[in-house]
Structure 1
Amino acid sequence: MTQPFTPSAPDRLRVDIWSDVACPWCYIGKRRFEQALAGFDHRDKVEVVWHAFELDPGAPAEHPLSMRDALAQKYGRTPSDAEGMMDHVTRTAAGEGLEYHFGRARLGSTFQAHQLIHHAAQHGKQDAMKERLLRAYMSDGELVSDLDTLVRLAQEVGLDGSEARAALLDGRHAHAVRQDEAQAQALGISGVPFFVLGGKYGVSGAQDPQTLLGALNQVWQETHPAPLQMLGTETPGEGCDDGQCAVPERA
């Protein structure tokens, strides 16, 4: 199970991110956050924790509809409108160096995928697992509800396949996923990606890197005040310290 949702430690900045594997804007948001982090002066002190969010908690293991038809049905639009929506997101993703292939996407439940991300967190590979699952869904046409597929993807990021399979079969991380979703509900999170910085500041959506960098800088400054800088003199003047005052003797 990943660490519980808590404020940052005194010398760290914790960023909690809620997202779904089946969310195209979440992959875009991940890339933009990574760009922001690359420009952040204190990036080596940032701790990123991924949290589960299912856009469709009731999804079957595999949805019979294509991405186009599912979007058209969900939003009450024509298939042509849905194609336009997919084209727009695909172009946006390309601008972030991502390749989306919605035509080969296989829709289905992401519940087990989120469990696998929690399992990877216990082995220091949470971000790598999140990245691989996003690419599997958005680019490779993988069915991320399929057990054998998940085990193979786990192995690709360096996890033990037998351990990953056992964790998914016994559902040991299922409660952690439900905890993530309960936290999201308690925080009023209804859409993803959603970033919580320092345990108290929220940023909604796949914001541009400069906006995210500005948020990182602002939260760091508010939670990690800079030490006092001495100005103007090389030696301190006369004053009182610790309840005592030094009185110079008369010449």
Structure 2
Amino acid sequence: MELHNATGLVTGANRGIGAEFVRQLLARGAARVYAATRRPGTISGDDARIVPVPLDITDDAMVAEVARVAADVDVLINNAGTVTFQNLVTGDLGAIRLEMATHFWGTLSMTRAFAPILARNGGGALLNVMSVGSFQVFPGNGAYAAAKAAEWQLTNSTRLELAAQGTHVLGLHLSATDTDMLAGIDMAKNDPADVVRDALDGLESGADEVLADADTRAVKALLSQPPATMYAGVSM
């Protein structure tokens, strides 16, 4: 996918990885980037190519309205997310449902709304931002991991379903990254600029998947092993 002169839409665009996607798309010569967020007034930058739009991806009416407004999009980046740090057995069910509503149902809603738009605009590309949590769970993040695992298979399925219309679907998986979401956690973190650069390189090269760091690559390599191998060092 050639990003020069492309028209992109980034969800969760007001901070972190989303804001970095907006910045780097513009740096690669995008003609326009719709910066979608629940708080469009927080979108920074004075580049006239940035178009802030209000969006909560869990609200079907808002998704439909964004699809109506942004009918020229040929690159959709599903980045919006949440993390509630809930165990599945003992955690708050409302928070667990929010994880699935955001990462699975919200991503699916955006994909369904924009698939015909991408087709009309020549096929284009769709990128889903996921996580090492798509492959591995730790105590305390069961809701997030379950939702990201569901989004992973959503990505694989829609890659197959949209191939006939010429839409390139890329899955991005990353470990801890230096954003507001993990601001209070003391641990080694990726630089969002590096993650986004690798992801956009993957879009331009036609990759199906980008594993953004060594931790994510190591964890995915363990998927063919017995679960005890992956979880040998996990405190129960």
* Pairwise same-fold verdict (TM > 0.5): no
Structure having the larger proportion of residues in strand: 2
Q: TM-score normalised to the size of structure 2? A: 0.28
Higher relative contact order (CA 8 A, sep 6+): 1
Q: TM-score normalised to the size of structure 1? A: 0.27
